[in-house]
Each structure stands twice: as C-alpha cells, then as structure tokens.
C-alpha cells in the first residue's frame, strides 16, 4: 500500500493517480476533473434521442385525456356527475388502444421532425413543443378526415373537438421528449 503525500489516502501499489489529483508516477499534483462527466474520457449518451422516442409517446394518451376533459367542459352545458368515470375510461382506453398508433405516428412524423430540427440546428424547447403539437394535429387529421367528410361534420366545433385532444397529446409528448433530450444537451455543454 502507498499513501498519497497530498491527501494521505491509502492506495494499492498498482494505483497511478489519487482521487485528489496526485500522480504517483511523476510525483506531481495534477488537479483531477471534478466529475467523470467533465473528464476527457466521457462521451455524452448518444442513445438519449432513441430513449426519448421510446418513452415520450407514453405521455400522449394522458394529454389527449386532458384535451377531452377540456372539450367536454367547453361544449357540454351542465357538467355531468359521471364524467369522472368516463374520463378514467377514456384515459385507460387511450393507453390500451391509441399507444400503438401513437408510436406509429412518432416514427412516421416525429423522427423526420427531429431530424429536420437537428439539421437546421433548431432543437430548443419551443420548436420541440410546437413540432410535436403539429405531429398530434396531423395525426388526428390523417386518422379522422375521412370520417368527417363521410359524416358531413366539417364544422369547426366537431373538427376542433377531435383535433384539440390530439394536439394536446402531442404537446405532452413534446414536453417529455424535451426533458429527455435537454439532459443530453446539458451533458454536451458541460464537456470542457
């Protein structure tokens, strides 16, 4: 065992550096990086965008449920007492039924959006939130435009009652996506 002359910590004989920065080989003091993330060996996690695309779409049904609650509060005159159970059923139904569809639209529309924003170097909170809201809006238009035309319900109230929850779901996805992606950006900016 050898002892660091600077901080008096004991180390194995094969140790080359102490945590304080003392180099046993050259017998010099070289301040160590305060954290591993600040060292030259740390590479920021390049898998965070993939994690964001896997995790963030799970927030979509929750946002859509809030959207349905808001639309119901706006368009129904007296609030219904059994609405709480209906909203719970809508939320659970959206998680079971809409999640695969949300993942499909995240792949078809979300990945090109992310790559476009990355290409123009405009990955910030507002562009991510607006972009994912547009993804939610476009997905609702793609899913329901045929039904609106067939039912002859193209008035603004019926269209907005369908588009708004999906746009809000996209906003929730965008917020969670930004929270995951921004941590990667913080790691890159903290790198010396």
- pTM, to two decimals: 0.67
Alpha-carbon span 8 to 2, nearest angstrom: 9
Task: Put residue 11 in one of left, alpha, beta given phi > 0 → left and psi -120 to 50 → alpha.
Answer: beta
Q: What is the pLDDT along the chain (192 residues), one digit of tens a residue?
A: 888 887 787 888 787 888 777 888 888 877 655 544 444 544 556 678 888 899 999 998 888 888 888 887 777 666 555 666 777 777 777 778 888 888 999 999 999 999 998 888 888 899 999 999 999 999 988 888 777 667 776 666 677 778 898 899 999 999 999 999 887 655 555 555
Contact by Cβ (8 Å): 60, 136: yes
Per-residue confidence (pLDDT) for residue 191, from 0 to 100? 53
* CB-based contacts of 142, cutoff 8 Å, min separation 6: 105
């Amino acid at each position: 065992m050898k002892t660091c002359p600077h901080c008096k910590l004991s180390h194995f004989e094969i140790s080359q550096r102490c945590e304080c920065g003392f180099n046993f080989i050259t017998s010099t003091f070289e301040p160590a990086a305060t954290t591993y993330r600040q060292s030259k060996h740390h590479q920021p996690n390049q898998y965070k965008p993939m994690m964001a695309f896997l995790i963030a779409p799970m927030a979509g049904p929750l946002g859509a449920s809030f959207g349905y609650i808001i639309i119901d509060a706006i368009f129904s005159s007296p609030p219904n007492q059994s609405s709480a159970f209906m909203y719970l059923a809508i939320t659970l139904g959206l998680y079971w039924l809409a999640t695969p569809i949300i993942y499909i639209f995240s792949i078809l529309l979300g990945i090109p959006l992310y790559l476009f924003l990355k290409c123009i170097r405009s990955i910030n909170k507002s562009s991510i939130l607006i972009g994912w809201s547009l993804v939610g809006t476009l997905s609702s238009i793609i899913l329901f435009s045929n039904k609106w035309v067939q039912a002859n319900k193209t008035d603004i109230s019926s269209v907005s009652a369908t588009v708004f929850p999906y746009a809000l779901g996209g906003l929730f996805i965008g917020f969670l996506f930004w929270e995951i992606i921004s941590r990667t950006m913080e790691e890159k900016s903290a790198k010396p």
